[in-house]
Structure 1
Amino acid sequence: MTASQRVATVPSRRLAAVTGVRDFRLIVHPDRGETYGLTIEETYGEAGSVLATAVVTLTPQQTSRVIDALFAAMRRSGHQPSVLTFTRKAPIRLAEPDGVRLALILMATQPIAKHERVRALVTGINAMSIEETYYWYSKCIGIDANRARKALRTLLSDA
């Protein structure tokens, strides 16, 4: 028997479909006074077995600059903005499209100090279609994330 005639058998694994859905959740980190920072996590799975990974974490100063975008995401996901308080213990669940848009806003505005530029970025991301936000989100968490975030900031704010 020659080498080309030998066939190695590899045990096959059955692939199982994941039944869980992708969602996002906000986790509040209390700070001094009545301020808070935030972490947005991407989650997979249902209540019993949830896999979560942190997408972006904001300081209280960064959080205060994008509070309007936070409230808008809360409303679109069916929550009252009043659930977002510094005493909040439980994570706040966001629908996938709203979580993608909010995560993109948080990633794009995180290193920016100028309020005018932050507003321009938030306005630009809010003007995007759902498909555009998914595209930029995938770029901004991918291999060349820093380059993609810089490209997004350059595209949306004329600075």
Structure 2
Amino acid sequence: MKPSRGETYGLTIEETFGEASSVFATTVVTLTSQQTGRVVDALFAAMKRSGHQPSVLTFTRKAPIRLTEPDGVRLALTLLATQPIAKHERVRALVAGINAMSTEETYYWYSKCIGVDANRARKALRTLLSND
């Protein structure tokens, strides 16, 4: 979480590798406070499914919040797909489409959206889910 003005915050999703003694983290996606506000329901859902209370999302939080892998993948995919979108209706369609996906589908699209042709895959996913 990255505090912003007032009671808003940005968000960074990191993918971690390794054991507790030696963990390597790489940033998957970073959102501004405005972008985070548009997908806050998806963020709360990921927290809840990972066993956290929504109250862990505080403006002063410094420590990372660990999500279960499937929930982290689904949230990251949601953020990757919605990040450049301005239209609220389209953001809602993308979030709903990703929420309707099976776990296997989210892993497939996640791997595509962070791979070599990530930009093309993200555009394809947005087109598929928002009918644009």
Please classify the TM superposition score into its range, dividing by the shorter chain length. over 0.9
1:69 & 1:89 partners in 2: Cα distance? 21
One of 56, 59, 70 as aligned partner of 1:97: 70
RMSD: 0.6
Q: Deviation digits for residues 92-129 of structure 1, max 9, x if unmatched?
A: 00010000000000000000001100000000000000
1:133 & 1:75 partners in 2: Cα distance? 18
Q: Deviation digits for residues 112-156 of structure 1, max 9, x if unmatched?
A: 001100000000000000000000000000000000000000000
| SS of equivalent to 2:26 | strand
Higher percent of residues as helix: 2
2:75 pairs with 1:119: no
Q: Deviation digits for residues 72-106 of structure 1, max 9, x if unmatched?
A: 00000000011111111110000100000000000
4+ residue runs of structure 1 moved beyond 4 angstroms?
none
The structure with more radius of gyration: 1
Give the count of matched residue pairs.
Answer: 132
1:118 & 1:61 partners in 2: Cα distance? 13
| SS of equivalent to 1:57 | strand
One of 27, 35, 55 as aligned partner of 2:28: 55
Amino acid at match of 2:6: G
Using the size of structure 2 for normalisation, the TM-score is: 0.98
1:155 & 1:86 partners in 2: Cα distance? 35
1:102 & 1:155 partners in 2: Cα distance? 18
1:140 & 1:45 partners in 2: Cα distance? 22
**Identity, % of aligned positions:** 86
1:44 & 1:33 partners in 2: Cα distance? 34
Q: For residue 158 of structure 1, what is the aligned residue in structure 2?
A: 131
Using the size of structure 1 for normalisation, the TM-score is: 0.82
Contiguous gaps of at least 5 residues in structure 1: 1-27
| Post-superposition offset of 1:32 | 1.2
Contiguous gaps of at least 5 residues in structure 2: none
Q: How does 1:1-150 map to 2 (within 5 A)?
A: 28-150=1-123
Amino acid at match of 2:112: K
